[in-house]
Amino acid sequence: METAMPKITPFLWFDTQAEDAANLYVSIFPNSRITSVSRYAREAPGAAAGQVMTVTFEIDGQKVTALNAGPMFKLSEAFSFVIDCDGQDEVDHYWNALTANGGQESQCGWLKDRFGLSRQVTPRQLIEMTTSPDREAAGRAFQAMMGMKKIDIAALRAAFEGG
């Protein structure tokens, strides 16, 4: 039986770092691998013959393609990946790995890795608290989140419980 091709594949534009980015991402996330690398067959504007053109990889089963196509376009917060986590250990793992070596912390669980790709490191506990039917407690948790960079589940829980 044939596996259906995904209908949507994120396609990320890099200047020259597609292979480095793909290698980093598959080293951080479980069930991830590089599936193919294509190279420029001949010289192209900004690319030498033999230079990596595209890298196709899977991040926990999600197909992604990275393209080396020069500095004309940059990644921005207008596109991000959400990383669903369960617990502070997972939050810390992804946060620390993706902000290392030049990544940037932002607000409310957002970060940029060293290549400029934005992520939202989101523990399920944050979603559970901020969508609680107890709107007062949910509001306190939301307000606590607004003051955070990396999500601190214990601090969210204290705010949620009124502490």
23-62 residue pLDDT tens? 999 999 999 999 999 998 887 777 788 899 999 999 999 9
Assigned domain for 4 exists: no
Q: What is the pLDDT of residues 130-159, one digit of tens each?
A: 999 999 999 999 999 999 999 999 999 999
Q: Does residue 68 sit in the same domain as residue 80?
A: no
- Tell me which of 17, 52, 73 is where a domain ends: 73
Amino acid, single-letter form, for residue 22: A
pTM (2 d.p.): 0.89
Number of domain units in the chain: 2
* Sheet strands (E) in the chain: 11-14, 33-39, 52-59, 62-68, 80-85, 104-105, 110-112, 118-123
CB 58 within 8 Å of CB 51 = no
Contacts of 63 (CB under 8 A, 6+ apart): 6, 9, 35, 56, 57
- CATH number of the domain to which 58 belongs: 3.30.720.100
Assigned domain for 122 exists: yes
- Tell me which of 49, 73, 97 is where a domain ends: 73
